[in-house]
Amino acid sequence: MLMVGTVSVAALAAVGMSMQFMMIVNVLMTLYVIGGNALISRFIGQGRKNRASALLFSLVILAVILAFFVTIGGYFGSEHFYSWMGATPAVVEQGSIYFKILSLGIVVIFLDNLLYNALSAAGDTKSSFYIKLSSAGMNAFMNYVLIFGHFGFEAMGIEGAAIATVISYIFNVIAYYILIKKMNSSLDFVPIIRIKDVKRVLKVGWSAALDRGISSMSFLVFVSIITAYGTAELAGYQVGLRVEGIAFMPGFGFAIAAMALVGQNIGSKNFEQAYNMGIISGRIAYIFMGSVGLVMILFPEFLVSFFTKDTLTIAVASQYLILVGLAQIPLAIMFVYSAALRGAGATKTTLKVNVTSLWLFRVIPSYIAYKMGFGLAVIFAIMNIETLIKGIIYSYLYSKKEWLYTKV
For 237-260, write each residue's pLDDT tens digit: 888 888 888 777 888 888 888 888
**Mean pLDDT score, 346-352:** 89
Question: What's the pLDDT score for residue 398?
Answer: 94
Question: What's the pLDDT score for residue 393?
Answer: 95
Q: Mutual orientation of helices 364-371 and 195-227 as an angle, nearest 10°? A: 10
**Mean pLDDT score, 381-386:** 93
pLDDT of 89 over the 90 cut: no
Question: What's the pLDDT score for residue 73?
Answer: 86
Q: How far apart are CA 271 and CA 269, in angstroms?
A: 6
More confident residue, 262 or 19: 262
Percent of the chain with pLDDT over 90: 36
**Mean pLDDT score, 86-112:** 86
Residue 17 neighbours by CB under 8 Å, 6+ apart? 82, 85, 87, 91, 95, 223, 234, 238
**Mean pLDDT score, 346-366:** 91
- Distance, C-alpha 137 to centroid of its chain: 20
Question: What's the pLDDT score for residue 126?
Answer: 85
pLDDT of 24 over the 80 cut: no
More confident residue, 215 or 378: 378
Q: How far apart are CA 354 and CA 361, in angstroms?
A: 10
| Residues 118-167 pLDDT 10s | 888 887 888 888 999 999 999 999 989 998 888 888 888 888 888 999 99
pLDDT tier, 274 (very low <50, low <70, confident <90, very high otherwise): very high
- Distance, C-alpha 331 to centroid of its chain: 14
**Mean pLDDT score, 93-98:** 82
Residue 314 neighbours by CB under 8 Å, 6+ apart? 236, 301, 304, 305, 308
pTM, 2 dp: 0.72
Rg (alpha carbons) of the chain, rounded to whole number: 21
Secondary structure letter of residue 405 according to DSSP: G
Identify the CA nearest to 97 among candidates 158, 155, 182, 37: 158
| Residues 50-83 pLDDT 10s | 898 999 999 999 999 999 998 998 888 777 777 7
Question: What's the pLDDT score for residue 138?
Answer: 93
Q: How far apart are CA 120 and CA 33, in angstroms?
A: 11
pLDDT of 88 over the 80 cut: no
**Through-space distance between the first and last CA atoms of the chain, rounded to whole angstroms:** 40
**Mean pLDDT score, 349-375:** 92
More confident residue, 187 or 86: 187
Average pLDDT across the chain, whole number: 87
Identify the CA nearest to 38 among candidates 335, 405, 340: 340
**Mean pLDDT score, 333-350:** 90
pLDDT tier, 342 (very low <50, low <70, confident <90, very high otherwise): confident
Residue 166 neighbours by CB under 8 Å, 6+ apart? 101, 102, 104, 105, 108
Question: What's the pLDDT score for residue 392?
Answer: 94
pLDDT tier, 184 (very low <50, low <70, confident <90, very high otherwise): low
pLDDT tier, 388 (very low <50, low <70, confident <90, very high otherwise): very high
Question: What's the pLDDT score for residue 353?
Answer: 93
More confident residue, 407 or 394: 394
Secondary structure letter of residue 149 according to DSSP: T
**Inter-residue contact 312 to 231 (CB < 8 Å):** no
When mean pLDDT is compared across 89-103, 265-279, 293-307, the lowest value belongs to 89-103
